[in-house]
Structure 1
């Protein structure tokens, strides 16, 4: 049967979609890292940076510079692991949604 009338939109939750994207990407990265069976020399560092990113999501207004720093350290910790490349790319894309941090005047 054909649908009549406009489809009702999702209710506005007031949550920034960038925050939701970051929350989802961090959650996926955590799941993939936890499931990765091989020994990772920098696993603790990766877990710490995921904790930083998760905490920034809970603050509601994450600081771009803090996000980029955590992403840099996370990438350094797991960047050479091809099995984690896709979830890491998703975290990077979510961080990029927040734009660039303003440069300090010299």
Structure 2
């Protein structure tokens, strides 16, 4: 279940629940993308950006601005493949758990 506030730990694991949600969402979309029979032009972009998200969560310090960029690239790459929509929504909600992008200074 997605949590909308705070950084709670997954019981017994010591892992931030947001990271666990993101890891699960990335894994789900990767599986569904791999199992999708149709080839489409931007499939490689989606796969690459899912790998970026997986690496960030594995490193334990996901950067919000980069996660949101990856999410936008993934959405753009698979947006027309409606079968992947539910998994993409779960990924978006998992990224949203990390909060808003902090404002840039000096802009």
Q: TM-score range by the shorter chain?
A: 0.7 to 0.9
> TM-score, normalized by length of structure 1?
0.87
Shift of 1:11: 4.2
Deviations 1:33-58 (A, max 9, x none): 00000111101001000000000111
Q: Distance in 2 between matches of 1:24 and 1:56?
A: 13
Which residue of the partner structure matches residue 56 of structure 1?
Answer: 56
Segments of structure 2 that go 5 or more residues without pairing to the other structure are 1-9
Q: CA RMSD in A?
A: 1.1
CA separation of 1:40/1:57 partners in 2, compared to 1, >3 Å: closer, same or farther? Answer: same
Q: Does 1:95 align with 2:86?
A: no
Deviations 1:47-97 (A, max 9, x none): 000000000111112000010000000000001110000000010000000
Q: Distance in 2 between matches of 1:74 and 1:66?
A: 12
Give the 5 Å matches for 1:8-47. Answer: 11-47=11-47
Which residue of the partner structure matches residue 72 of structure 2?
Answer: 72
Question: 4+ residue runs of structure 1 moved beyond 4 angstroms?
Answer: none
**Structure index of larger Rg:** 1
Segments of structure 1 that go 5 or more residues without pairing to the other structure are 1-9
